[in-house]
Every structure is written in C-alpha cells, then in structure tokens.
Structure 1
Amino acid sequence: MEDIFRSYWWLLFPIGFFIFGAWDRWLLYRRSRDHLELLKSYAAQGREPPPELLRTVRAAALDDDLLEDDDEDRYSRRRHYRRMRHWRRYSPYWQWRSFLVTGAVALGFWLAAEYADIPGANGAFQIVAIILTCVAGAQLVIAVLGSSFRR
C-alpha cells in the first residue's frame, strides 16, 4: 500500500482539481437554487423583487449562458470577454510574469546543473538551462517593449 502512494503521488493533483471543481459546481448550484427560492417567495407574496436581486440573478445567468434571447446583451458580453481576454494575453503584467517564471525555472536548471549529484545528467541540465535562459531573455525584451510601447 505504501508503494502505491510512493509511485503515484502525482495523482493527488488531478484528484484535488476534480474535488475542488465539483465543490465549485455544487456551490454554484446552491446559489442559483437560493436565488430561485427567493424569487418564488417574492412572487408568492405578490411583491416586486428588489432590483439588486434581479441584477445578481441576471448576472449569474449571463455568466452561465442561460439567457440567449437578448441578442444585444449577448454580443456586448462577447465583446467584453474578447477585450478582457486580449488585455490579459497582451498586458505587460503577463509578459513580466512569463519572464519571471521562465527565468526562475532557468535558474533552477542552472543550479541543478551545477550542484546535482546525478551521474550523466549534468549535460542535459546545462542544455535545458541554456535554452530556458534564451527564452527568458526573449521574454524580457518583449516585456520591456510591451511596457514601453503599450499601444
């Protein structure tokens, strides 16, 4: 039994992602059920629900693409998502982040090439470190140019 955990420790990550994904879906279900119950109670009393409640219910429905009948709102939502996706992809923040992550991995391979006590792995670590250093240098140039010339 101990050998299974030693050999397949990496399975903890996909299983954890699955569990947290299921938990998120269950919480989303509970939230939508509570919104529906609240709207039903307002309808049973014959009162108009507050606009804040309707706004949150509509926003939750639009996030899940449940309302497809309002074309103008759907297209404006698509434009907003496209704009945000473009901003995330090409913002200087992500460029600097890519440089830092790649540089940290390259530094790790340089340290592994220098201090690792694994026979025959020295050359492989150095080749990977050289390649990652070149990639990190290119990302540094892109980050500096992206920060300087934003548009």
Structure 2
Amino acid sequence: MEDIFRSYWWLLFPIGFFIFGAWDRWLLYRRSRDHLELLKTYTAQGKEPPPELLRTVREAALDDDLGEDDDYRYGRRYRRYRRMRHWGRYGAYWQWRSFVVTGAVALGFWLAAEYSDIPGTDAFQFAAIILTCVAGAQLVIAILGSSFRR
C-alpha cells in the first residue's frame, strides 16, 4: 500500500482539483436555485423584487460567455461592458506572458533533467520536450497576435 502511495502521490493534485471544482459548481447551483426560489416568492406575493436581487441574478447569467450572435439581444451597453471585461484576455500581452511562463517552466524541466542525480528522471526530459513544444506554439501565437491586431 505504501508503494502505491509513493508511486502515485501526484494523483492527489488532479483529484483535489476535481473535488474542489465539483464543490464550487454545487455551491453555484445552490446559489442560483436560492435566487430563483426568492424570485418565485416575490412573484407569488405580487411584489416587485429588490433591484439588488435582480442585479445579482443578471450578473450571474451574464457571467457565462455568450457567443457573438447573442450580443444583439442586450444592446450597445452590454457589448461595451463585455468588451471592457475581456479587453486584455485576448491581447498580445497575455499571449507573450503565456509564452514566457511556459518557456520558464520548460527551462526548469530541462535543467532538472540535465543536472539531477536522481535515477529515473527521464520523465523530466519528457515533460521538458512537451513544454518546449507548447512554448514554441505560444511563441508563434504571440508573434501572430502582435502582427495582426484584429
């Protein structure tokens, strides 16, 4: 049993991410369900729901990334809000940043594969090769993103 834990200790991280992601989704579901129940209560009583409640429901609905075809439904103000919210996500800065971070991690794996005295570190070299390919792709994307703005 100890050998299994020593060999597959790294599986704790993906399993933990999966568990926390499922917990986050469940909490989001509960929150949206509670908001809808509260809106149903106000509607059944014939009262107008408070603007804060409507705003939180609207913001939760708009957090989903809508396609370009859905923009026309919400008008110019929503398109401007969406453009300002995502202004840096697809810019050249983020593409260059992705290249630098991925390249630094690849360099770290190359150094670990070259200078580690631990037997069986072929996995470092394999990870370094993969990350170097990913960094090369990020470099191409960053160059193209800087050359062609839109």
Please give the range of the TM-score, normalised by the shorter of the 2 chains. 0.5 to 0.7
1:92–1:54 Cα change, 3 Å:
same
Structure 2 distance, partners of 1:62, 1:131, is 36
Offset at residue 19 of structure 1 (A): 0.9
Structure 2 distance, partners of 1:37, 1:144, is 50
The higher radius of gyration belongs to 1
The answer for the alignment partner of 1:39 in structure 2 is: 39
The answer for the alignment partner of 2:15 in structure 1 is: 15
Q: Would you identify which runs of 4 or more consecutive aligned residues in structure 1 move more than 3 Å?
A: 61-65, 86-90, 124-151
Structure 1 distance, partners of 2:56, 2:112, is 51
Structure 1 distance, partners of 2:13, 2:141, is 32
SS at match of 2:19: helix
1:46-61 correspondence to structure 2 within 5 Å:
46-61=46-61
Structure 2 distance, partners of 1:97, 1:125, is 23
Query: Scaled by the length of structure 1, what TM-score is found?
Result: 0.58
1:58–1:12 Cα change, 3 Å:
same
Any stretches of 5+ residues in structure 1 without a counterpart?
A: none
How many residues matched? Answer: 141
Query: Scaled by the length of structure 2, what TM-score is found?
Result: 0.59
The answer for the alignment partner of 2:98 in structure 1 is: 98
Percent identical pairs in the alignment equals 86
CA RMSD of aligned residues (A): 4.7
